[in-house]
Amino acid sequence: MVNTRYTRTTGLQLTYDISANERGTYSVWLGDKEMMRGEDSLTARGKRCEPNKRKAAGATHEAQREIERLSAMSEC
């Protein structure tokens, strides 16, 4: 499990906690509230299902892009 913090560049610029595992899935937290979860689109249901660190890095990057993309996301 890879845990990172990410601060949004627009909006209220709050800091989000991103938890990504080696299977390519992630969840985004703001404080104790889970804001979203998903998986890296490049590793989703591929032939190679074994966990590795590249999938965790891809999931973290995907979560950062999703945070920036959702400009209307409620940050309360």
**How does pLDDT run across 23-73, given as a tens digit for each residue?**
889 999 999 999 999 988 877 666 667 788 888 999 999 999 999 887 666
Sheet of strand 25-30, all strands in order from the earlier edge strand to the far edge: 2-7, 15-20, 25-30, 33-39
Query: What pLDDT, on the 0 to 100 scale, is given for residue 26?
Result: 95
Query: What pLDDT, on the 0 to 100 scale, is given for residue 42?
Result: 78
pTM for the full predicted model:
0.83
Banded model confidence at residue 18, pLDDT cuts 50, 70, 90: very high
How far does Cα 69 stand from its chain's mean position? 12
Residue 26 CA neighbour count, 13 Å, CB half: 31
Query: What pLDDT, on the 0 to 100 scale, is given for residue 74?
Result: 61
Element (H, E) at 38: strand 33-39
Pick from 7, 8, 28: nearest CA to 17: 28
Query: What pLDDT, on the 0 to 100 scale, is given for residue 70?
Result: 76
Query: What pLDDT, on the 0 to 100 scale, is given for residue 69?
Result: 86
